[in-house]
Chain A
Amino acid sequence: MMGNPYVTQADSQVGEFRRAAFFGGVYSNHLALAAALKLARSLRVDAVFALGDFGAFGPHPDRSVEILRGNGIISIQGNYEEALSQAAGDCRCGYVDPRDNHYARLSFDYTAMKTAAGHKAWMGTLPRNLRMTLGGQRVLCCHGSPRRINEFLWASSTSDAFLRKLLDDYQADLLLCTHTGLHWSRFLPAEGNGGRSARGIINVGALGRPANNGRTEVWFAVVERASGETKVEFVPVAYDHAKLASEMADEGLPPEFRATILTGWWTTCLEILPAKERAAGKF
C-alpha cells in the first residue's frame, strides 16, 4: 500500500467477517433502526455496521444515536456526523439546487439543535472509511464515496469505468456506501470470460426514509461471502411508520417529510436525482 495516496492510515481496520449487515442513513428514524437491528440479529449476522448520517429528516436525533452506541454497532461518519461534530453551518449534503437546500436546511437546523453535545463529540471520533475482509474479499465502507463523504453514487450515473477506477485507486474488491438513500448493487463484468467478477459496489440504501417506490418499508443490506461468491440481500424493514410520522408532527417537522414516511414517495430533495431515478418516483 506504500505510496498509494488513496489508501491512508486514517482508514479504520476492523478485521474479518463472513456475513454482516450494513445500515445506511438512519436520518433519526429510531423506530426503523430498532426494527432493523432486531431483524438483522435474527438473520445471524456476525456484525452490524452503520455507514453514517444518523440524524436528519426524522424526530429526536439522540434516540437513534443511543441505539447505535448502546448496541455495539460499528459506525463511520456521514456528512451529518462530520458537520455536527465540527459545528458546521450546514449539513454538507452536496445538493446544488435551492429547492433541495431549502429542506436540507430545515433538517439540519432541527438536528443540530436537538443533538446532545456528548453525541456530537462522539461523532467526531468516528472514522470516515472502514476496511475489513469479508470471506477474504477486501471491503471498503464509506458514506458517499471513499474520496468524498458527500458524493452521490447512484445506479444510473455511476459508470462501470468509474467504479473500476475507485476500486483500483482504493485497493478494494467491494465498495459499500449509502448517502443517496436508494439501495442498489452491481458487480463488474469479469474480464475475458463474460461472467461477473467478484468486484463491485453495494449501496446499502437507507433506514431513514423509504426508497421512493410507494412502499413504506425501509431497507438495509446483508452481505455474505460463501463458496467463493458474494451474496447481497436487500432486506425490507416494516416498522411503525405512522407513529414516526406522528412524532415528526409533534416536533414541528415539515409535512412534506411526514408525507414521505406515510406514502413511500420522496417529496423533497429531488433535484439531485439523475433522470432515471427521478422518473421512477412520483414527484
Chain B
Amino acid sequence: MGRTHKVLVVEDEFLIAMELRRTLTEAGYDVVGPVASVSDALSLLQQSHPDACVLDVNLRGQTACPIAEVLRSMKVPFVLSTAYSQNEIDTHAALAGASNIGKPAPRQDLLQAVAELVG
C-alpha cells in the first residue's frame, strides 16, 4: 500500500473548508490545514511539503498569488476552487493556466482533480 498523500487546503470560508477536509479525509488523503489566509498558508509551507494543494483565490480580500508562486517554486501541483471566471483568474500571472474545479465544486470533480495532481 502506497503512502498517504498530503493535500494542503487553503479556503477562508470555514464551512467550505470543513467540507473539503471531510471529503478529502474520507477519500484517504492526509489534509494539511485547512488554512484561511495567505500568511497562514505561507507559514505552513515553510514547515510542510504537501503533495498537492486545493487553493481558493480570494482569501479575505487578498489574492492567493503569493501562495501559488511558492507552490510553483516548491513544485507542488495545485488546483483552484473559486467562483471567479477563467478570464478573471488569467489576469493573475501566478494563477494563469491553473485548472479550476469551481465553487461550489462537485465532490467528484474535487476528488478527480486531486487524484490527477498526486497521480
Q: Are A and B part of the same complex? A: no
